[in-house]
Every structure is written in C-alpha cells, then in structure tokens.
Amino acid sequence: MEALLLSYSIEWLNLITRWLHLITGIAWIGASFYFVWLDNTIRPPKPGSDLASKGVSGELWAVHGGGFYNPQKYLVAPKELPEELHWFKWEAYATWLSGFALLFIVYYFNASAMMIDKSVADLSEWQSIAIGLGTLVAGWVVYDLLCRSPLGKRDGLFGVVMYVFIVAAAFFLTHFLSGRASYIHVGAMMGTMMVGNVLMVIIPGQRKLVDAMLAGKAPDPVHGQKAKQRSVHNNYFTLPVLFIMISNHYAMTYNNAYNWLVLAAMIAAGVLIRHFFNLRHKGKTDWRFPAAGIVILLVVAVAIAPKPMAHASVSGQGTDFSRVQSIIEQRCVTCHSAQPTQAGFASAPAGMLLHTPALIHQNAAKVYQRAVQLKNMPLANLTQMTDAERAVIAAWFEAGAN
C-alpha cells in the first residue's frame, strides 16, 4: 500500500510540474517569438522626425484586443530611464526549473526504467544520471565558450558548428542511454543553453545598461548587441526543443536504430522552418527554407516507416491466442493493468490495459505497434521480452488477431 501511495503521489507531482512547465514555457516562448518578430518588423523613423532625434531606431503600429499599440525601440537606450521598466526573465527561469524538476520526477527517480536500456549500455542508475547531468553542464560550457570565441562573430559558421556539436551529443547519448532519455537530454541541454543565455548574458547585459544610465554615463552598446545575439540563438533553438518535448509520445523516432540521425534531421527541419519566419518578418519571403524542412520531414517519415518482420521461428503456432496471452501476462501486465505491480507506476502507461483477453483484443494494434514494430514495450524491456515472443505476437496480429 505504501509503494502504491508513493507511486500515486509521484504521478500527481509529475502532472502538476508538467503543467507548470507547459504554462511557463508558453509564456517564455511567446515573449521570445514576439520580441524577435518585433525586432524584425520595426521600421526606422523618417529622417529628421522627433523619434529619430530621440534615438529611436525603429517603431511599428499594431492593433490587438481592440486597441492600437505603438512599440518603439531605441538604438542603445533612451536619454532618461523611465520610472517603470518591465523585465522578461522569470518566464525563462521558471520554465527551466520546472523542466529540471521533471527530469528528476520522470527520469532520475525511475532511472532503471526510463534511463537505462541494457541493449544499448549496461549502466547503473547513478552512471546514467551522471551522464545526463554531465551533458547539461558540458553543453552550456562548450556553447558559451564558442560564443565568446572569434567563431561567435560569424553567425553562419557558428550555427553550423553548433548543429554539429548538438548532433554529436545526440550520437553520444544514444550509445549510452535509452532512446527516450537521450532525446530528452538533448532537449534539456539546449534548454540549459537557452536559460543560460538569459541568466548569464541577456539579463546581466541589460542590468549594465540600466546601471550606466543610473550613474549618468552613456551605456555601452556592446551589452545590447551580445544580448540580441543570444536572444536570436534562443529563437532558433525553440522549434527543435519543442519537438523533443513531445517526442516521448512518438517512439517511432527515439526507438529507431538510427535515432540520433532522426533527431538530427528533425532539428534541421525545425531550424529551417524557423528561419523562414524570421526572414518573412523582415519582409523577405524565401520558400526554399520551409520546402527543405518539409522534404526532410517526409524523408524521415519514409525512412523510419515500419517494415514487416520475419516469423519463421514461430513454427506455425504463432496464431495461438493462448500463447499471446501468456506472453502479455508475463511481460506486460505488471504495468498495463488496473493496479500495476511494477514499481514506479500508479496507473497503466498511456491508460492501456491488458489484463483480460477482451482488453488484449481491443488493444491488439497498439500491442503490435509497440512490442513488434517499435520494440519500446515493455519499457526499457524491464521484463525481458524476447524476439521470439515478439514474433509470436506479430504472427498472431498479422493473422487477424483472433
């Protein structure tokens, strides 16, 4: 009873933290997208106008919610500091903190099931957690050093190098952790880079601008330039990170034999599509970028499509439902039942129940997809389902699942 109560409490903690992560993430991404759009859309004031003489570098007019808005951006800073100044930082901090908490709740508290895949690497729980945490730290250190190096002044080349680094991290992780854990840690690494930009560069740079004005000094424009560069980096990270956030629902991606390459392609597609919108906000429309992104997605979809498997080892007995039911009871029901007995689960994953013949028939297609095609069930193969047993399930389903 105590174990069940603990699992149930963790599930509620997972729910509340995930909800918070989603809410704060929407706030952060929304603000980020808006300000990048604003930077790309504002137009310089007419020469000789009052705005130009005040140091305004651009403005625009917009209508929303029944009212008109007239945002203005100063080249460096206004002549006088306004009484009330709004800062955008807690959205980023809360998103990262809630996401980091989710890593512990979902992955580190149940590392044996969520982090370790014995067919990939025979690690202990602590080894898998150390690799995950080390990736977050190493990712930020490498990224920040590259930004501060001469390479950081060459945006295009910097982007290529960072892409190669992220793909290399994905390759490394997928050779030590489970596919699902690898994906989420690549996303967490990129998210750490993003929040590191806010905490270590953007906000400190803005504080230096404000402090200079309070001291009656002319602000150094370099702080604003560095903050803008990191903000643009965050903008390009966003779509890949969003894909990774939802990837745990799509085992066809992270469970593929070339999962790191699938992730590399999805990241590239996200960056290309985001670049299209950034250009469009500047008044430039280049359909080659979204077209390339869509082509990449189509190629991935075709490349990872499930293929029929051979069932020669079943020896003509694969359609016997009693064999299938015995396999599922032994390998799957510990999690997929009304009252799971597997530690760490208070309810059946994805709500799929398999503890009766009727429920097995009802979920036959899902069992086939996950146990045979994707091989992501049982989770981390905790109950050691064999390839021969998967072949039995495949033969049964392909014969009509009777």
In this prediction, residue 312 has a pLDDT band, given cuts at 50, 70 and 90, of: very low
Residue found by looking up tokens 């390339």 in the block:
292
Whether 81 and 214 have beta carbons less than 8 Å apart is answered as: yes
Q: Residues 169-185: pLDDT tens digits?
A: 999 999 999 999 999 99
* 124 Ramachandran zone, left/alpha/beta (phi>0; psi -120 to 50): beta
Element (H, E) at 58: strand 56-59
DSSP 43: B
User: Distance from first CA to last CA of the chain, Å, rounded?
Assistant: 37
Helices (H), 248-336: 251-254, 259-281, 288-303, 321-331
Query: Could you tell me how far CA 161 lies from the centroid of its own chain?
Result: 20
Checking if the pLDDT of 313 tops 70, the result is: no
pTM: 0.84
Structure tokens at 98: 């809630």
- Per-residue pLDDT band for 276 (boundaries 50, 70, 90) equals very high
Condensed to tens digits (0 to 9), the pLDDT of residues 13-40 reads 989 999 999 999 999 999 999 988 888 8
Q: Please give the torsion angle defined by the CA atoms of residues 231, 234, 236 and 242, in that order, rounded to the nearest 10 degrees.
A: -150
Q: Is 72 helix (H, G, I), strand (E, B) or coil?
A: strand
